[in-house]
Copies of this chain bind each other. A is one copy, B any other.
Amino acid sequence: MSVVVQNIRRVERHIVDQIQHFGVATVHEAQGRTGLLAPYMRPIYAGARVAGNDVTVSVAPCDNWMIHVAVEQCREGDILVVAPTSFSDAGYFGDLLATSLMSRGVRGLIIDAGVRDIRDLKDMGFPVWSKCVYAQGAVKETLGSVNVPVVCAGALIHPGDLIVADDDGVCIVPRKKAGDVLQNSIAREEKEAKNRARFKAGELGLDLYKMRERLAERGLKYVDQADDE
């Protein structure tokens, strides 16, 4: 059955806006090393960093009809997530859909397929993380669903979950955990800032993390290079 779920619950805006300052690596660690999408999901241009509530779209292979349906469900601060029901490289998305999404305040697109018009998207400042870049057009023949759970690039994503994306890729935070993950991210970043200063000053990880004893226990040996090597 094809369905559009309306009025989904979202993460509170202040959480979204705070977590935007942390990178994908930090958020991934802050929720116990979970939530990453597959490493083939790459940004179409470097330097973008976004966070937002996702609106999910399940589309038939090579068919972008439901993306138009999904646009109407998007609000300011959202990120659109598009997942075909079968593996596909076609280009489901270009500058017109991006213009439509930007007019509604949408912050970016995550698509487990292809995207096109990437020079225009970069000029517009509309970031996209995709499996590939490909101009192959899609058709508008088959229904799909909006705001149902989807598997996108190996990750399970529910509507209203929190998406964080930057040059490292894409991470998904379940809606109900967003507050906790934000707190963990803040705590982790503070700790890392201190460590960063110590590393910068020349301290070694071996000492900072007190690894020497455990390494020796495990049997690590230090030798000098032999003369004939």
Interface residue? A179 (CB, 8 A): no
Q: How far is the CA of A95 from the CA of B39 in the complex (A)?
A: 18
Number of copies: 6
Give per-residue flags for A95-135: 1 if the beta carbon is below 8 A from chain B beta carbons, else 0.
11101101110000000001011111010000000001111
- Determine the interface band of chain A, counting residues with CB < 8 A from chain B: 35 or more
B97 touches A5 (CB 8 A): no
Interface residue? A14 (CB, 8 A): no
Taking a contact as CB atoms closer than 8 A, the residue among B122, B151, B158, B209 that contacts A68 in the complex is: B209
B7 touches A135 (CB 8 A): no
Q: How far is the CA of A141 from the CA of B204 in the complex (A)?
A: 18
Q: How far is the CA of A25 from the CA of B98 in the complex (A)?
A: 15
- Known contacts: A7-B224, A87-B39. The answer to whether A23 contacts B117 by CB under 8 A is yes
Given contacts A1-B219, A61-B90, 11 further A-B contacts (CB under 8 A): A3-B223, A9-B225, A23-B120, A39-B136, A60-B139, A87-B154, A96-B205, A100-B204, A117-B168, A143-B219, A143-B220
> Which residues of A are in contact with B by a Cβ distance under 8 Å?
1-9, 23-25, 28-29, 33-34, 36, 38-39, 42, 45-47, 49, 60-62, 65, 68-69, 71-72, 85-91, 94-97, 99-100, 102-104, 114, 116-120, 122, 132-137, 139-143, 147, 149, 151, 154-156, 158-159, 166-169, 171, 192, 195-196, 199-206, 209, 211, 215, 218-225, 229
Q: In the complex, how many angstroms separate the beta carbon of A158 from the nearest chain B beta carbon?
A: 8
Taking a contact as CB atoms closer than 8 A, the residue among B60, B151, B211 that contacts A151 in the complex is: B151
- Known contacts: A2-B218, A89-B39. The answer to whether A72 contacts B135 by CB under 8 A is no
